[in-house]
């Protein structure tokens, strides 16, 4: 989506192949797991506010459902591609498996830019996407959720369309719904908080006091913002964030060496996670180039914007001070850059482990909807912490025991679980 010289699907397949080799998987299992089982390409005609009709292209990819109904977000982005969605659907399979929830992996997207669409037009895209795909989705088949540039409002439009088609109430069709409309408390914060729960555990293992650390974060949307808040709550200091500016069509880094006030930054950020430059200057921020977030002298880097952001051309700008890289985004590191991070011995918390808090809380949302009994926020976040902490510990223990890179260790656990499921079902 963001850096077209790298194909995320090829990255996902390379990562898979590497671990399939370590695990000695048989040919049939490899062939089954290294590509999606099903994918749908749809056209969505929308009557625009000016009376014209525009055709939007959408996708849904179901990578693997051996462990349960497929689960994964839907993105709205002008540069969305089927290969990005394929990669993301694979990563969803591994994500659900590494935190051991009974779900498979899927992902969806629509090529569109919500910045240039009215609410009514966005609603029509949501409803049109569901109309095209409803027969191939559902609570026991495929359950979408929010992702880049979609939120609870979009989820409710999609649910409403699904329920209109099927003539009943099916709150389990979608997660990330508004609280009070079947949504779970804590879902908005879950992904960002989950990143920090794993970071907290990593720092403990490394013997680093979190209150003495600093971080630089790419992104200031759903994941990044809540990660920043939780990290500061635990005593860390965020000194830089970077985000996209849709007016200038470029990204900027906002830096404050003595620490950003995250709540104040949030107050000057729009719904798409773009910070107001003028107001940021008033808050005492330095405004730097978009890529500057990566070269800060900090202990922790958290890429939490998009895929393909740490590449061979900027990985060497990472400061020697950096000890942990926690991947909040999906696929933020390209394979060549990953190799350098591995060689430098930076402690990596891989994407599908670090950002699994969102899908874990989505799973909690399904559980709550099914029983029609909703938990208090503290209870949701406590359960989330337990899941994330135990998944992190399992991965880091395996990495230590077998001398594996953290990404490979997470893959070994996830792929083994899915491979076992397809075998037990008699598919291979």
Q: Are 152 and 186 in contact (CB under 8 A)?
A: no
Residues 6+ apart with CB under 8 A from 70: 62, 63, 64, 89, 92, 93, 103, 104, 105, 106, 141, 142, 143
Q: Which tokens in the block code for residue 283?
A: 């808050």
Task: Report in angstroms how near the CB of residue 261 gets to ligand NAD at its nearest.
Answer: 17
Query: What φ, ψ does residue 125 adopt, rounded to 5°?
Result: -65, -45
Reduce the DSSP state of residue 310 to 3 states and report it: strand
Task: Report in angstroms how near the CB of residue 154 gets to ligand NAD at its nearest.
Answer: 12
- Which H or E run includes 75? strand 70-77
What is the side-by-side strand order in the sheet with 53-64?
Answer: 38-47, 53-64, 104-111, 70-77, 142-146
Q: How far is CA 16 from CA 10, 30, 312, 364, in A?
A: 10, 9, 20, 28
Q: Are 298 and 319 in contact (CB under 8 A)?
A: yes
Q: Which tokens in the block code for residue 85?
A: 């969605």
Q: Are 364 and 383 in contact (CB under 8 A)?
A: yes
Q: Choose among 78, 71, 36: nearest CA to 57.
A: 78
Task: Report in angstroms how near the CB of residue 160 gets to ligand NAD at its nearest.
Answer: 21
Dist CA 414 CA 428 (whole Å):
18
- Which H or E run includes 415? helix 406-424
Task: Report in angstroms how near the CB of residue 190 gets to ligand NAD at its nearest.
Answer: 7
Residues 6+ apart with CB under 8 A from 385: 193, 197
Catalytic residue among 71, 95, 107, 256: 107
Q: Are 221 and 243 in contact (CB under 8 A)?
A: yes
Residues that bind ligand NAD (CB under 6 A): 2, 146-149, 191, 218-224, 242-244, 251, 273-274, 290, 304-306, 328-330, 355, 358
The DSSP secondary structure of 55-73, one letter per residue, reads EEEEEEEEEE-TTSSEEEE
Q: Report the residue number, 30 or 255, with the smaller CB distance to ligand NAD.
A: 255
Task: Report in angstroms how near the CB of residue 427 gets to ligand NAD at its nearest.
Answer: 27
Q: Report the residue number, 326 or 415, with the smaller CB distance to ligand NAD.
A: 326
Q: Choose among 34, 71, 84: nearest CA to 422.
A: 34
Task: Report in angstroms how near the CB of residue 92 gets to ligand NAD at its nearest.
Answer: 9
Q: Report the residue number, 90 or 305, with the smaller CB distance to ligand NAD.
A: 305
Q: Report the residue number, 85 or 159, with the smaller CB distance to ligand NAD.
A: 85
Q: Report the residue number, 251 or 368, with the smaller CB distance to ligand NAD.
A: 251
204 is catalytic: no
Q: Report the residue number, 126 or 422, with the smaller CB distance to ligand NAD.
A: 126
Q: Report the residue number, 121 or 189, with the smaller CB distance to ligand NAD.
A: 189
DSSP state of 346: P
Q: Report the residue number, 65 or 147, with the smaller CB distance to ligand NAD.
A: 147
Query: What φ, ψ does residue 239 adopt, rounded to 5°?
Result: -105, -15
Dist CA 376 CA 393 (whole Å):
26
The helix-helix angle for 377-402 and 187-206 (nearest 10°) equals 40
Task: Report in angstroms how near the CB of residue 31 gets to ligand NAD at its nearest.
Answer: 26
Q: Which residue is nearest to ligand NAD (CB)?
A: 221
Task: Report in angstroms how near the CB of residue 163 gets to ligand NAD at its nearest.
Answer: 23
β-bridge pairing 300-303 and 214-218: parallel
Active-site residue list:
107
């Amino acid at each position: 989506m963001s850096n077209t010289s790298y194909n995320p699907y090829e990255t996902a397949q390379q990562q898979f192949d590497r671990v399939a080799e370590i695990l000695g998987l048989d040919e049939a299992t490899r062939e089954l797991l290294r590509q999606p089982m099903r994918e749908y390409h749809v056209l969505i005609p929308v009557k625009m506010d000016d009376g014209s009709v525009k055709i939007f292209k959408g996708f849904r990819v179901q990578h693997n459902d051996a462990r349960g109904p497929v689960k994964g977000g839907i993105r709205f982005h002008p540069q969305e591609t089927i290969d990005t969605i394929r990669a993301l659907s694979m990563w969803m399979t591994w994500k659900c498996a590494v935190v051991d929830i009974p779900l498979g992996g899927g992902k969806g997207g629509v090529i569109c830019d919500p910045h240039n669409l009215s609410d009514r037009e966005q609603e029509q895209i949501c409803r049109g996407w569901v109309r095209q795909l409803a027969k191939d989705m559902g609570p026991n088949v495929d359950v979408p959720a929010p992702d880049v540039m979609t939120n609870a409002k979009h989820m409710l439009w999609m649910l409403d369309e699904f329920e209109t088609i099927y003539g009943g109430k099916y709150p389990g069709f979608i997660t990330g719904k508004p609280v009070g409309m079947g949504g779970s408390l804590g879902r908005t914060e879950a992904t960002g908080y989950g990143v920090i729960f794993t970071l907290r555990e990593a720092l403990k293992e490394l013997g680093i006091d979190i209150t003495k650390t600093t971080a630089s974060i790419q992104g200031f949307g759903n994941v990044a913002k809540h990660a920043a808040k939780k990290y500061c709550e635990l005593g860390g200091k965020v000194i830089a964030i970077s985000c996209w500016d849709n007016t200038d069509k470029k990204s900027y880094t906002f830096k404050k060496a003595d620490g950003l006030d995250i709540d104040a930054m949030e107050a000057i950020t729009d719904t798409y996670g773009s910070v107001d430059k003028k107001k940021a200057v008033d808050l005492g921020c330095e405004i730097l180039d978009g890529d500057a977030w990566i070269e800060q002298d900090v202990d922790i880097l958290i890429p939490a914007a998009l895929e393909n952001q740490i590449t061979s051309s900027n990985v060497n700008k990472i400061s020697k001070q950096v000890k942990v890289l926690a991947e909040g985004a999906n696929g933020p590191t390209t394979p060549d850059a990953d190799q350098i991070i591995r060689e430098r011995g930076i402690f990596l918390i891989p994407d599908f482990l670090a950002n699994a808090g969102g899908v874990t809380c989505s799973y909690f949302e399904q559980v709550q909807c099914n029983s029609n009994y909703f938990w208090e926020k503290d209870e949701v976040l406590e359960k989330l912490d337990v899941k994330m902490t135990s998944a992190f510990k399992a991965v880091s223990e395996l990495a230590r025991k077998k001398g594996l890179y953290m990404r490979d260790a997470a893959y070994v656990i996830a792929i083994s679980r899915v491979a076992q499921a397809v075998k037990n079902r008699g598919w291979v």
